[in-house]
Chains A and B, each alone.
Chain A
Amino acid sequence: MMQNIWKELKKAPLTAWFGMVVIAIYIFVSIFAGVLAPYGETDPVGFEYEPWGGDFLLGTDNLGRDMFSRLLYGAQNTVAIAIVTTLLAFFLGGVLGLLAASLGGVLDQVFSRIMDVLMAIPQLIFALLLLTIFGTSLINMVLVIAVLDSTRVYRLARAVAMNIVVMDYVEVAKLRGEGLWWQIRHEVLPNAMAPLVAEFGLRFCFVFLFIAALSFLGLGIQPPTADWGSMVRDNATLITFGDITPLLPAAAIALLTVAVNFVVDWMLHRSSGLKD
C-alpha cells in the first residue's frame, strides 16, 4: 500500500511536488501559528508602518501590529474559514445532488431548475445582494458562499451519480430492500468519490479567492481578526511608496491557490488516464 503510493508519487511531475510541499507547509504553519508567531494576533506592539528588520521581521501594519505574526495567524483564520465553507458547500450540494440522482422525477426537476436560476446570477453580485440583506458578518458570509457554491457541487455530484444509479449493483441493493440512505452511502458515494475529491480542490481554490475578495472589499472577515484579504486592503497605501509589504498576504493567497491547482491538475490528469 505505502509502496504503491510512493511509486505514484515518484512519477508525479515537478509542479505537483511543488504543490504538495507548499500545502504541507501551509498546514504546518496554520496548526502551529500560535507557537511560531513572536507577537499576539491583535496586539499593537510598535508604531504604525515600521520598516522591516529589528524587532519586527516584516515591520508593522497600519495599527502597529506585527506583520509577520499576523501573516501566520492569517494562515490559520483564512484557510480554516475557507475549508469550513467548502466542506459546507460540499455537504449541501453533494447530498442534494446524490438525492436528485437517486430519486429522480419531480424532485430532481425542482432541484435542478432552482440550481439553474441560482447559477444564472453572477456569484459575486448575488453574494453582495445577500450580504446587504442579512448584514455583513463572518457567519453570514460563510453561509452565503456555501449556499452559492453548493450549486456547482450539486451539478457535478448529480452528473456523476446519474451514471452510477443505473448500474446493476445499485439495482441489486434496491431489490434486496436496502433503504435509500444505505444505497447512497454504500453503493453510490464510494464510486463517485474520485471526481468529487478533485473537485474539492478546485472549489476550495474558488472559495478561498472568493473570501479573499470579499474581505478585501471590507465585506468579509471583520477586523481585528487577522485575515489575508483585509490585510492587503488595510496596508495598500504602502504600495504607492514602493513598499511591497501589502503584497505579502496577497502572495500568500496566490501561492496556496497555485499549489492546490497544480496538485488537482496532476490528479485529474492521472484519473482521466491521459498518458501523453
Chain B
Amino acid sequence: MHPILKMTLQRLGLGLLTLFVVSLIISGAVEMLPGDLAQEILGQSATPEAVAAMRKQLGLDLPWHERYLAWLGDTMTGDLGQSLASGREISNLIGTRLGSTLFLAGLAAAISVPLALTLGIMAALYRNSLFDRGVNVFTLSAISFPEFFVAYILILFLSVQAGWFPSISNIGTDTSFFEQIFRTLLPAFTLTAVVTAHMMRMTRAAIINLLASPYIEMARLKGLPPNRIIVRHAVPNALAPIINVVALNLAYLVVGVVVVEVVFVYPGLGQLLVDSVAKRDVTVVQACSLVFAATYILLNLTADVLSIVSNPRLLHPR
C-alpha cells in the first residue's frame, strides 16, 4: 500500500477510536450525577413510585451498555433527547445555533488565516528588524490577553466611541446575509486577534527553521532576491507545519467561541452551553459537549492528515 494512504488510514482509525471513547465519557456524565436523571427531573419531593416510573420511561432500569448503545443510536439519527430544564427537543435548540457558531468561526477563520500567513512570511523576510520585533511583542501580548479583554476593548473603541459596529450581535433568522456578516464582524475580530498571534509565530518559526538549510544557501549564492527565496523556496517546504498549526487553530476557534459569544450575546452554541451549565441542564450540556468535542477531534484529525499529505518525502517515496 502507498505509505501515505496507510498513515492516513491509521490516523483516521485512531481519530474514530478517540471519538468513540469521548462519546463513552460524555454519555457517562449522567451516570456520575449524584442521584440520577429521573430524580433530577422530578425534584426532591417526588414519590418513589413516580421516580421509578420515570426511570422506566427514560430507560434507566436497563444495564449501562444497552443504554449507551441506545443513546448512541439516537444521537446518530439526530435525536438528542429533551432538555431537563425546559423539556424542549435538544435538536431544535441546537440546530440553528450550531449554524450561527460555525458562521462566526468561519468568518474569523476567513480573516485570520490570510492575515497570519502574510504577517508570518513578512516577519520571516524582515527578521530581527523593528517590524519583526514589534510584531513579536504584539503577538506575545495578544496570546496572554483574556478573550473578554480583547472583546471589551474592541467594543469600547469600535462600537461605543467610533459607533461603527453594534456592541451586541443579535442576529435572527430574518436578518439578511450581509447584515449578518456586519453584525458578526466584531466577535469575529476578537477571535481573529486571539488566534492570529499563534499562527503567525508558527509560520515565522517554520520558515526561519528552513533558512539554515543548504538549498536555501545555494539559492542565496545564486543571487536570488530574498523575497523570492522565501516565497518560492522556503514556503513550500514549510507548508506542512503551517497547515498543521492552521488546522489546530481552527479547532481552537470552534471552542474559543464560548466566551466571545457570551460577551456579544451572540446566539450560538457556546451561549447555550454556558446557560445550561448554570442551570445544570445535564442533557443539553451533554449534547453541546458532544458537538464541540466531535468538531474539535475532526479538525485535529484533519490537521494530522493534511500535514502527512503535504509532506513531500511521503508524497514521493523512493
Q: Which residues of A contact B (CB under 8 A)?
A: 15, 116-117, 120-122, 124-126, 128-129, 131-133, 135-136, 205, 209, 212-213, 216-219, 229, 232, 236, 239-242, 244, 246-247, 250-251, 253-254, 257-258, 260-262, 265
| Bound Cα distance from A141 to B293, whole angstroms | 20
Most buried by B among A126, A129, A136: A129
Q: Which residue of A lies closest to B282 (CB)?
A: A132
Q: A217 — which chain B residues lie within 8 A by C-beta?
A: 258-259, 262, 274, 277
Chain B, residues 125-165, CB within 8 Å of chain A (1/0): the string is 00000000000010011011111110011011000110000
| Bound Cα distance from A253 to B147, whole angstroms | 11
| Bound Cα distance from A216 to B258, whole angstroms | 11
Contact A247 B285 (CB under 8 A): no
Contact for B156 among A229, A242, A254, CB less than 8 A? A242
Q: Which residue of A lies closest to B155 (CB)?
A: A239
Q: B18 at interface (Cβ–Cβ under 8 A)? A: yes
Contact A132 B276 (CB under 8 A): yes
- Pick the 10 closest A-B CB pairs, nearest first: A257-B144, A250-B149, A122-B255, A258-B144, A132-B285, A254-B145, A125-B292, A120-B18, A129-B289, A122-B296
| Bound Cα distance from A74 to B141, whole angstroms | 22
Stretch among B21-29, B214-222, B239-247 lining the A interface:
B21-29
Q: B297 — which chain A residues lie within 8 A by C-beta?
A: 120
Q: B148 — which chain A residues lie within 8 A by C-beta?
A: 212-213, 216, 232, 250
Q: A232-B149, A257-B145 are in contact. List 12 more A-B contacts (CB 8 A).
A: A125-B289, A125-B296, A132-B285, A133-B33, A209-B146, A216-B262, A217-B258, A239-B155, A247-B152, A250-B149, A254-B144, A261-B144
A120 with B22: in contact, given A216-B146, A219-B277, A240-B167 (CB under 8 Å)? yes
Q: B286 at interface (Cβ–Cβ under 8 A)? A: yes
Contact A250 B18 (CB under 8 A): no
Q: B22 — which chain A residues lie within 8 A by C-beta?
A: 117, 120-121
Contact B277 A124 (CB under 8 A): no
Contact B141 A242 (CB under 8 A): no
Contact for B140 among A122, A244, A258, CB less than 8 A? A258
Q: Which residue of B lies closest to A233 (CB)?
A: B148
Q: B273 at interface (Cβ–Cβ under 8 A)? A: yes
| Bound Cα distance from A212 to B144, whole angstroms | 12
- Shortest B194–chain A CB gap in Å is 11
Q: A15 — which chain B residues lie within 8 A by C-beta?
A: 137
Contact B149 A213 (CB under 8 A): no
- Shortest B171–chain A CB gap in Å is 19
Contact B156 A133 (CB under 8 A): no
Q: B32 at interface (Cβ–Cβ under 8 A)? A: yes
Contact B285 A128 (CB under 8 A): yes
Q: B251 — which chain A residues lie within 8 A by C-beta?
A: 122
Q: A121 — which chain B residues lie within 8 A by C-beta?
A: 22, 25, 289, 293, 296
| Bound Cα distance from A208 to B297, whole angstroms | 25
Q: B278 at interface (Cβ–Cβ under 8 A)? A: yes
Contact for A132 among B21, B255, B280, CB less than 8 A? B280
| Residues of chain B from 55 to 106 with CB closer than 8 A to chain A in the complex | none
Contact A258 B273 (CB under 8 A): no
Contact B153 A128 (CB under 8 A): no
Contact A133 B143 (CB under 8 A): no
Q: A236 — which chain B residues lie within 8 A by C-beta?
A: 152, 263
A129 with B286: in contact, given A122-B296, A217-B262, A258-B141 (CB under 8 Å)? yes
Contact for A247 among B147, B156, B252, B258, CB less than 8 A? B156
Contact A128 B141 (CB under 8 A): no
Contact A253 B146 (CB under 8 A): yes
Q: B137 — which chain A residues lie within 8 A by C-beta?
A: 15
A125 with B293: in contact, given A133-B33, A213-B259, A261-B140 (CB under 8 Å)? yes
Contact B156 A244 (CB under 8 A): yes
Q: A254 — which chain B residues lie within 8 A by C-beta?
A: 141, 144-146, 149
Q: B288 — which chain A residues lie within 8 A by C-beta?
A: 125
Contact A239 B156 (CB under 8 A): yes
Contact B152 A239 (CB under 8 A): yes
- Shortest B153–chain A CB gap in Å is 7
Q: B141 — which chain A residues lie within 8 A by C-beta?
A: 254, 258
Contact B293 A239 (CB under 8 A): no
Q: Which residue of A lies closest to B252 (CB)?
A: A122
Q: A246 — which chain B residues lie within 8 A by C-beta?
A: 152
